[in-house]
Structure 1
Amino acid sequence: MTSPVRGIDHIGITVPDIEQATHFFENALGAKVLYRSAEKGDGNIDNKSQGETLRLYPGTEITAIRMLILPRGPGIELFEMHAPEQQQAARASDFGLQHFAVYVDDFAEAIARFTAAGGEMFTEPKPLSFPAERGEGNAFCYGKTPWGSVVELISWPSPMPYEKYSSARRWKP
């Protein structure tokens, strides 16, 4: 039986300032605004309904929603929300979604854009270290956005060892 799933359509990220986040993703990842679902003050958001749909903390207000598109890959839906009890972005050791990865062809350029846009890199690129992923030039590094979400930059120009034993393949933009 084939799966009804094709792949990731978009990821949703809650941000403290939608203008800052839009600027960051435009400059760091080459994203473009695809459309604006709701903007501050346009009255286009039913916070009660959204709160029930998303199971938001009581009293949360969504002030803006935008869909961005990456040059090649899934969309990024930004939600500017403000709540009575709001926590910082999750760390990799916390439960739930911890990061998303973008495939890059040039680490130096990707890192320069990421940091120029206000992001902070955790390390320089390192070789992919799991035996199933190793290969010449296969590498990764992590950084965080100005509001604390974690983003991985990854590249695997060489075949991975697991490919010798499986016909399944990782999706590659």
Structure 2
Amino acid sequence: MSLITGVHHAGFSVPDLEQALQFFTEVLGFELLSQGALPTPDDPIAEQFDVEPDESVRFAFLKAGSDTIELIEWASPRQQRQMPRNVDWGGRHLALKTSGLEQTLARLRAVPGVRILKPRGERFVYVQTPFGMYLQLMAPNA
């Protein structure tokens, strides 16, 4: 018997929460569920998230279909401000199901700063958002 019953959500650090929220809600159609910030006077975060007392976080939970993601903007005087590449430790991407790959790509081509990489046949395409996050768009039959 497995102790893990599923994935609750996946979190992704972004450089600018407002920009990422706008992209995910207005361009991709995610639904904003909630947002917040820590620490608060009654909720310190240093021990909960393995950060220093002078670091803080703003976050938002979004939903697409039955899946939830968290976008996280950290503030820290010691922060590394470079998005990891796919080959770097900590590199990551978010694979998204799409009802139509070509229609989704057509919409993304109109968004300034979006970089569309070479398609992998008709199965998927990697896209880089204006803020550096990689998305993998999956065709309906992939």
Tell me, which stretches of 5 or more residues in structure 2 are unaligned? none
Deviations 1:45-80 (A, max 9, x none): 339832322223563222x2211111x142121222
Deviations 1:99-139 (A, max 9, x none): 1201112112212333444432122x322xxxxxxxxx5x1
Aligned match of 2:23:
24
Q: Tell me the number of residue pairs that the alignment of Structure 1 and Structure 2 aligns.
A: 139
In 2, Cα distance between equivalents of 1:17 and 1:106: 28
Greater Rg by CA? 1
Residue identity over aligned pairs, in percent, reads: 31
In 1, Cα distance between equivalents of 2:139 and 2:74: 33
Task: Give the residue type in structure 2 aligned to 1:26.
Answer: T
SS at match of 2:95: strand
Say whether residues 1:78 and 2:77 are aligned partners.
no
- Structure 1 outlier segments of 4+, above 6 Å: none
- After superposition, the Cα gap between the structure-2 partners of 1:34 and 1:112, relative to the gap in structure 1 and judged at 3 Å, is same
SS at match of 2:34: strand
In 2, Cα distance between equivalents of 1:98 and 1:7: 19
Any conservation in 2 of the 1:24–1:117 contact (CA below 8 Å)? no
TM-score by length of 2: 0.81
Any conservation in 1 of the 2:100–2:140 contact (CA below 8 Å)? no
- After superposition, the Cα gap between the structure-2 partners of 1:97 and 1:74, relative to the gap in structure 1 and judged at 3 Å, is farther
In 2, Cα distance between equivalents of 1:117 and 1:51: 37
Any conservation in 2 of the 1:37–1:67 contact (CA below 8 Å)? no
Question: What's the offset of the Cα at 1:90?
Answer: 1.3
Question: What's the offset of the Cα at 1:6?
Answer: 3.1
Say whether residues 1:34 and 2:27 are aligned partners.
no
